Each structure stands twice: as C-alpha cells, then as structure tokens.
Amino acid sequence: MSKHSDAIGLDVGTSRIVVARKPGEDYEFASQLNAFVCIPRSRITENVLEREKIPHTAVAGGIVVHGNESEKFAGILNAEIRRPMSGGVLDPREPDGLRMIREMISLMIGARSGERQKLCFTVPAAPLGAQESLTYHEATLKQILGELGYQAASINEGLAVIYSELESSNYTGIGISLGGGLCNVCLAYLSVPVMSFSVAKAGDFIDQSAAQMTGERANRIRLTKEDSFHFNGFFADKIHQVIGVYYDDMIRSLVAALKEAFARARDLPKFHRPLPVVLSGGTALPPGFRDRFEKILLEEGFPADISEIRMAQNPLHATAKGALVYALSDL
Amino acid sequence: MRNATNFPGRWSRLADFPSFGEAVRIEWRAGRIADPVKRLRYLRRRMLQTKRRGFHGWGLIAVPLMIAVAAARLPSGSAETMERERGLAVPRAAGAAPSMPPQVWLIEKTEAEEVYSNGLRVDRTFLTANRPRARFPVYSLAGSPVPWRYGGAPVGIVYHTTESLVPPFEEDQNRRLQRLGRNLLEVVRSERAYHFVIDRFGRVYAVVAETDAANHAGNSIWADGEEIYVNLNDSFLGVALEAQTGAAEAVTPAQIQAAKVLTEALRFRYRIPAENCVTHAQVSVNPLNMKVGAHTDWAGDFPFAKLGLPDNYSIPLPSIYAFGFEADPAYERALGMNFGGVALARAQIERQAAAQNTPAAQYRAMLRHRYRDIEAELKQNEGGN
C-alpha cells in the first residue's frame, strides 16, 4: 500500500465532520453531522439501532444517537439536536460534547493502520481583533487523535481551502471556509499563510437569528436553508425572506472583516498579480451565493485586486481535502 | 488576527518573503510540477528555505545558485537575458541530445541472460546482491544543508574504467583476454564494485543487482536542475568498461556499442536524464583536501557522443560551484583532466562571488562549510544505521 493511502485529512467543523482519504488516484470522503440526540432507552430501540447499524452510544438513562441519523431522530422525537461544538470550537456548555466528538471521530477514522500514520485536522482562526485562545480546542483534538494512535497536526481552515483549491495560483490567494460556527479566512502567498482570522457570523448565526424572528426551531431553519433557499429570488414565505436578510448580514460582516484585516495588515508581501478568492463550506452552498458575495465585495470596495471569486469544486469537502493535501505534502 | 499554524516562526517581516525575482523563479519552477501535493511540498520547502536563509550565511549562496540553475531551464530568451544581467555561466551540456532514449523493453529473461529490444544482452551469471539501495538524500542547490527530499530509484549513471590490466586486443591474445576478463569479474563481484561491467568483447555483465547499491562512487557529487546528490553509491548506477587509463588502446568498438545500448536501456527504465550520465572523474571528490578528481577514470575522452549523449564534460562541476571544491591545475595537467566543466565551474563561482560582492575565497569557504554540514549529517546517519 502506498503512503498515499495512509494519510488522513479531517475537517472538524461545528456542523459536520468530514474525513478525506486518498487510497489511489482519487480522493474519497466520508462525512457525518457533528451532532447527537438523546433518546429514551428501551430494549426495542436498542435492537432497532443495532439492526440498522445506526451509530449510537448507551449512556446512563438513555441512548445517544450521533452523526447523520441524529437529525432524523430529532425530527421524530421533536427534540433539538445537541452539538459538541459551538462557534467553531468545543462547546464548554455541552457536558457530553467531548465524549461524543471522541466517539464520532473514532468511528469515522478508526484506529491507525500503520506506524506514524499522518493525520491533519482543521482548526479555526481566532476572531478578527480578538486575542482569543484556541489552544484548548486544538490540544483536545490532538489528544483524542493521539490516543487513537495518529501523528496529528493541525491546519487552519482557510489555509486548507487554499491547499485544496488554489494549486493553479501556486497556493496564493484567499481561502474562505463558510461553516456553521465561523467563517474562516486565510490569505496565503506561495503556500505560506500570511494572515488568518475568523468571523463569528456564519451558518448558525443565520439559523438562530431566523429562528428568533420566525419562532421556528433553529434546526428547521437550517433544513429549509439547505434544501430550498437560494439568492436572487423572491419568496412569499417569511422563513426564506428572513434567511435572506441574515445571509446578507453575514456576507456584509465577512466583507467588512476582510477589508479591516487588509487595512490592519503590515508588511504584506507584494502580490504580483490579482488574488483569487475561493469560497467553500456548507453555508456557501445556496445557489447564487457566489454572485451575492461578489456583488457586496465590489460594493464595499476591496483594497486588493481580485482575479476571480469562485466556489470550491466541492464546497463540503474542500477543507478536508486541503488538510489531506497538507498531510500528504508533509510525508 | 494570527498567523496560521504549521509554518515555524512568524512571517511578519517583509524580509521573510522572497524578492520579486526569487518569487518569479519559485513560481516558475512550481508551475512545472503537475502533482498538487508535490507542488505544495516544493513551495513549502522553498519558502521555508527563503525564510531561514541568512542562517550560517546561506543567503549569500542561495540566490546566485538559484539564478544559475533556474537560468539553465528557463526559455532561451529569458535565460540569455538573465545570463547577461547576472554574468552567470549557465550549466548546460554542449551538443544536442534527445531528452529521453527510445523505448527499450525486455524480450527474454532466463537465469543466465536478459535480452532487450535494442540488442542489449546482459549476462547474469556473475550477478550478486549487496546491501539494498537506501533512500538517498537529495539537497536543494538553493542552499539548505537539510535534504529537501529523499529519492529511491537511480537518477543517473556513473561510468568507470576498471583500471585492470588490458592486453592488446588481438586474436592471438584471445585466451589471455578471456582469462583476465573472468578474473576481473570475480574481483568486481567480491568487491560489489559496479552494477555492470562491459568486457573487452562488448559483453555486458550484471554484477550487483540494480535494486542494491554498488560500492562504485565513494565520495562524489553531482547535480541536475535544482537538486544535488552527495555520495552517489545509492543514487547512481555504476557501469564499468574494462579499460585502463593511459593504456595504448582505448575501449573497443564492441564496448562502445554495448555501453550505448546499456545506457539506452537504463535511461529508459529509470527515466534518467542525459546530463546525469557522467564519468567517475567528473563526480569524484576528496573531502580531505577539498579537491575534485580523487578518482580519474574517464577524466577525458569518454565517448559521450557515441553513446547518444551530449558532451557532458561541458557541464560545470557542481562540486566546485556548489561546494567550493577546487581543481589543482598541476594535477589537472598531469592527469589530463581537460574537460570544460572545471573551467566553467571556476568561472561560475567567481561570478557568483562577484554578484554578492563577496571575495571569492570567502564565498568558497561558505560553500565548503555547507558541504561539511552535509558530510557530517551523512556520517551521522550512517552511524545511526
């Protein structure tokens, strides 16, 4: 087996966990919702879960269903799904978060298959202007992966997008990962990260804000957003209208942060040509998002020349793929 | 805002980034790497080297070397411009040669012999094993004494003479010629000295398995493109022609034909570039006195053209321009080391030093320091193994 098959890219996002591998010439991906739901324990339920091979864990007084199936069970039981992470990092308010994320990662990647198997996992950047420490989040994930036997290294989410998508510009440009908890931005020059930051307004912000305005559960807003929302259209129903308003708010905040970051930056290298911008992540999926982002960026006026703004080839997998490319390049 | 992870130190100073010229060259080189992972690996290493340069004085070395080497591969217009502007010699071989040899394939293989489509016949009766070929370090010409990658397959061929007794190639010497040839093969096998030996009748003998290293090159140096190889036993295949330097008769036409088809087969099998087919005298060095030409076989008159190769004697010796070795003029005259690569490398190092406003002696001392670092690292690894 070649060394290609050994390395793993792991995108640990607020909303989803994505694993990338390259067993041969092609990349392979697997993803699970980074969420869980507690259901009452019964012999019948346990049998059904076992029979259907639904990932679950028995806990005191109940059963925890995690990953993709948690959404379905939450719908059936009319319960809100719980998530181990919030705002891009492990949620300190979620008592079962650490145990669940360990369980999910373990199920997805398994124990290492060889000596010094390389794994690269994504971490967010600190919010713009904040000195917030991300050490705990990063160290905890590293510990979990170390316990599974992996030689783990971290990579900034935005940089992972660049490593995944900007080969054609020799890994120079701006990578933006629009996730559930955060929008992560990185500017790289010939593969070197020059600056990176995050913006706390992302998919969850849209869901929660729209939920407050409409009285719906945030999970339902998320499903609506993912299933049927698009830009440049007119919606009769309030949910779509409200989602559109908060999407605009999020994009404007992101563009403002980009402008501010460039204004604050000192001693940036000279870019000899306009920079490409790549958008990735589940929050960038609605049709028309790229056009909307471009329109707002042009309206606001960006201090650097932009050559193109484009979507990642596969927005849901780009970050994990970039982490894998980084792991492979380190072999 | 913070710098993203994974790159040691902070890239907070403009000085950490390459200059415009360097960036253009780095990008140009990266653009030639099709595989995205390899391209990223190359860029990360080059950028780290750029950031680290200045340590141990490598910065003074890196730029001219990069310019010199990059210039050799740029399109002709750019290369010529750069050559004029920088006054640097461009390492390239004289005479055109096909970039890769024609396809050669194995027709038949038995315990005793291999037969190839270009007429090559390899006698396997003396074939033996040595230690398996180790992953060999490949260094960047851009300056770092740390390997930028490791190689596994042979990247070149070193041609040797056996320096054994060679009687006149005449019919009445037939029995003697055969006996000496057989004795020679016994010695070569016991010493694991070469991968292949071509006897005076043009018969090709495989001696050390191609999967293994042969003890043929010792202290030696060669470079191609932006990569430099040190101590070539693992990275280059050793091909010896039964011959003696200074003997009345040079190699026989049969030996030349055999060397040609063997070279074609090896180059095709391992994708060996023509400029990596060189002689022992070109690669051999003596680290004790920092002189080139510790071994002098094929110091001149190697029939490159007859083997379908460019005149690789015209390639500047990397031992001189990359590591500050010297060629003693008296030694050259005595041994007939008259190939142009020595003079070109000397001129190149002078220009490199001048381009940096550094006295040549000081510049050469820095290059030598780099070689010593690499040598120490290699010895340490040998000890570790």
The pLDDT score that the predictor gives to residue A265 is 76
Instruction: Tell me the per-residue pLDDT of B128-148, one tens digit each, with 9 for 90 and over.
Output: 999 999 889 988 776 667 777
Residue B178 and residue B51 share a domain: no
**Predicted confidence (pLDDT) at residue A210 exceeds the cutoff of 50:** yes
- Output the pLDDT for position B119: 94
- Confidence category of residue B3, pLDDT binned at 50, 70, 90: very low
Residue B97 in domain = no
Shared domain check, B180 and B128: yes
Query: Which residues are paired to A306 by β-bridges?
Result: A275
A181 to each of A202, A203, A205, A225, B382, how far by Cα in Å? 6, 6, 7, 15, 51
Write down the pLDDT at residue B81.
Answer: 26
Range B250-258 average pLDDT? 93
> Are B52 and B173 within one domain?
no
pLDDT band at A273 (very low <50, low <70, confident <90, very high): confident
**Confidence class for position B160, pLDDT limits 50, 70, 90:** very high
Q: Say if residue B53's pLDDT is above 60.
A: no
Which of A90, A186, A306 lies closest to B1, judged by CA?
A: A186
* Inside any domain, residue B96: no
- Give the nearest chain A residue to B14 (CA atoms): A267
Element (H, E) at B38: helix B36-52
Confidence check: pLDDT of A203 > 80: yes
Do A193 and B41 lie within an 8 Å CB cutoff?
no
User: Is residue B70 in some structural domain?
Assistant: yes
Residue B97 has what pLDDT?
43
Tens-place pLDDT, residues B193-207: 999 999 999 999 999
- Across A78-100, b (16+ Cβ under 10 Å) vs e yields eeebbbbbbbbbbbeebebbbbb
Q: What are phi and psi of A195, to 5 degrees?
A: -155, 150
Residues of chain B above pLDDT 70, percent = 76
- The stretches of chain A forming alpha helices (DSSP H) are 43-51, 69-77, 97-109, 135-147, 157-165, 203-214, 218-228, 238-264, 289-300, 318-329
Q: Residue B277: name the closest of B194, B157, B100, B155 by CA.
A: B157
Would you tell me how many other CB atoms lie within 10 Å of the CB of residue A151?
Answer: 16
- Nearest CA-CA distance, residue B336 and chain A, Å: 46
Cα distance between residue A238 and residue A229, in whole Å: 12
- B293 and B172 inside one domain: yes
Q: Cα separation of B170 and A305, whole Å? A: 77
Does the pLDDT at position B59 exceed 50?
no
Quote the minimal CA–CA distance from B32 to chain A in Å: 11
Position B63 scores a pLDDT of 43
Q: What is the 3-state secondary structure (H, E, C) of B61-125?
A: HHHHHHHHHHHHHCCHHHHHHHHHHHCCCCCCCECCCCCCCCCCCEEEECCCEEEECCCCEEECC
Last residue within a domain, chosen from B42, B60, B87? B87
Question: What's the mean pLDDT in B267-283?
Answer: 92
> Does residue B212 share a domain with residue B143?
yes
Q: What is the mean pLDDT of residues B35-54?
A: 78
User: Residue B24 pLDDT > 60, yes or no?
Assistant: yes
**What is the average pLDDT across B248-263?**
91
Please indicate, yes or no, if residue B92 is contained in any of the structural domains.
no
Query: Where residue A303 falls among pLDDT bands split at 50, 70, 90?
Result: confident
* Rounded mean pLDDT, B176-201: 92
Cα A285 to Cα A306: distance, rounded to the nearest angstrom? 21
* Arithmetic mean of pLDDT, B277-306: 90
- Confidence label for B331 from pLDDT (cuts 50, 70 and 90): low
> What is the least distance, in Å, from the CA of A28 to any CA of chain B?
16
* B233 vs B198: CA distance, rounded Å: 19
Of A265, A269, A325, the CB nearest to B40: A325
Chain B residues in contact with A193 by the CB 8 A cut-off are 3-7, 11
Same domain, B164 and B289: yes
Contact B246, B257 (CB under 8 A): no
- Residue A199: pLDDT band with limits 50, 70, 90: very high
Q: Alpha-carbon torsion A152, A158, A164, A168, what sign?
A: negative
User: Which of B4, B12, B44 shows the shortest C-beta gap to A329?
Assistant: B44
B219 token code pair: 């202290």
pTM equals 0.54
Q: Are residues B125 and B255 in the same domain?
A: yes
Asked if residue B141 is part of any domain, the answer here is yes
The identity of residue A50, as a single letter, is: E
Residue B98: predicted pLDDT: 44
Residue type, B1: M
Domain edge (last residue) among B87, B118, B150 = B87
Residue B177: partners with Cβ closer than 8 Å, 6 or more residues away: B167, B169, B200, B201
Q: What is the pLDDT of residue B73?
A: 33
**Residue A52: partners with Cβ closer than 8 Å, 6 or more residues away:** none
Mean pLDDT of A236-245: 86
Task: Give the CA angle between residues B334, B220, B315 to the nearest 5°.
Answer: 70
What is the average per-residue pLDDT within B324-346? 74
More confident residue, B248 or A287: A287
Residue with tokens 């500050």: B324
Q: Which residues of A lie inside 8 Å of B (Cβ-Cβ)?
A: 123, 125-126, 128-129, 153-156, 158-159, 163, 167, 170-171, 186, 188-197, 261, 264-265, 267, 269-270, 272, 325-326, 328-330
Query: For residue B93, is pLDDT > 70?
Result: no
| DSSP conformation class of B143 | S
Task: Tell the burial category of A131 from Cβ atoms under 10 Å away from its Cβ (0-12, 13-18, 19+).
Answer: exposed
Distance CA B119, CA B84 (A): 45
Q: Which of B57, B87, B117 is the last residue of a domain?
A: B87
Q: Looking at the domain assignment, is residue B98 inside a domain?
A: no
Predicted confidence at residue B100, as pLDDT, reads 67
Chain A interface, best mutation among B5, B32, B39, B150, by max A CB count within 10 A: B5
CA distance A213 to A242: 8
Mean pLDDT of B300-324: 90
What confidence tier does B330 reach under pLDDT thresholds 50, 70, 90? low
Domain enclosing residue B29, as ranges: 4-87
Query: Per the CB < 8 Å rule, is A170 touching B6?
Result: no
Q: For position A18, what pLDDT does the model report?
A: 96
Of residues B157 and B66, which shows the higher confidence score? B157
> Are both B64 and B114 inside the same structural domain?
no
Give the pLDDT score at B69.
40
Cβ neighbors of A83 (< 8 A, separation 6 or more) are: A14, A15, A34, A35, A36, A91, A94, A97
Q: What is the mean pLDDT of residues B360-368?
A: 87
- Write out pLDDT tens, residues A12-55: 999 899 999 998 888 999 999 999 988 888 888 788 888 877 88
Calculate the average pLDDT of chain B: 79
Q: How confident is the model at residue B65 (pLDDT cuts 50, 70, 90)?
A: very low
pLDDT of residue B78: 27
Q: What is the CA radius of gyration of chain A?
A: 20
Does residue A176 contact residue A195 with C-beta atoms inside 8 Å? no
Tell me: pLDDT of A86 over 50.
Answer: yes
Contact residues on chain A for B5, CB-CB shorter than 8 A = 123, 154-156, 193
Domain for residue B296, yes or no?
yes
Average pLDDT, integer, range B337-351: 77
> Across the interface, do B27 and A170 touch by the CB < 8 Å criterion?
yes
Query: What percent of chain B lies above the pLDDT cut of 90?
Result: 38
Nearest to A248 by CA among A296, A188, A285, A301: A296
Determine, for residues B47 and A190 on separate chains, whether the beta-carbon distance falls below 8 Å. Answer: yes
Q: How confident is the model at residue A331 (pLDDT cuts 50, 70, 90)?
A: low
Based on the domain organization, do B112 and B52 belong to the same domain?
Answer: no
B2 pLDDT higher than 60: no
Closest-CA residue of chain A to B24: A272
Does residue B89 register a pLDDT over 50? no
Task: Identify the residue with better confidence: B44 or A314.
Answer: A314
Over residues A90-142, the pLDDT tens digits come to 888 888 888 889 889 998 988 776 666 889 999 999 887 665 667 788 888 98
CA distance B277 to B29: 23
Specify whether the CB–CB gap between A19 and A12 falls below 8 A. Answer: no
**Whether residue B82 sits in one domain with residue B117:** no
The 10 Å CB-count burial string (b at 16+, else e) for B259-279 is bbbbbbbbbbbbebebbbbbb
pLDDT band at B16 (very low <50, low <70, confident <90, very high): low
pLDDT of B9 strictly over 50:
no
The yes-or-no verdict on residue B314 having pLDDT over 90 is no
Q: Please tell me the least confidently modeled range out of A180-189, A320-329, B357-366.
A: B357-366
* Pair B377, B232 in one domain: yes
Whether A235 contacts A249, CB under 8 Å:
no
* Contact partners, residue A135, CB within 8 Å, separation at least 6: none
For residues A148 and B199, the model is more confident at B199
Instruction: Find chain B residues with C-beta within 8 A of A260's C-beta.
Output: none
Contact B6 A159 (CB under 8 A): yes
Residue B90 pLDDT level (bands cut at 50, 70, 90): very low
Of A191, A269, A330, the CB nearest to B14: A269
As for how many domains chain B has, the answer is 2
Answer whether residue B238 is part of any domain.
yes
Give the integer Cα–Cα distance in Å for B40 and A167.
Answer: 8
Residues facing B109 on adjacent strands: B114
What the block records as the tokens of B337 is: 């080391």
CATH number of residue B209's parent domain: 3.40.80.10
Q: Are residues B79 and B118 in the same domain?
A: no
Minimal Cβ distance to A269: which of B4, B17, B43? B17
| Confidence class for position A5, pLDDT limits 50, 70, 90 | low
Residue B91 pLDDT greater than 80, yes or no: no
For residues A151 and A114, is the Cβ–Cβ distance under 8 A? no
**B-chain residues within 8 Å CB-CB of A275?**
none
Task: Please give the pLDDT value at position A224.
Answer: 85
Minimum-distance CB partner of A325 among B27, B36, B47: B36
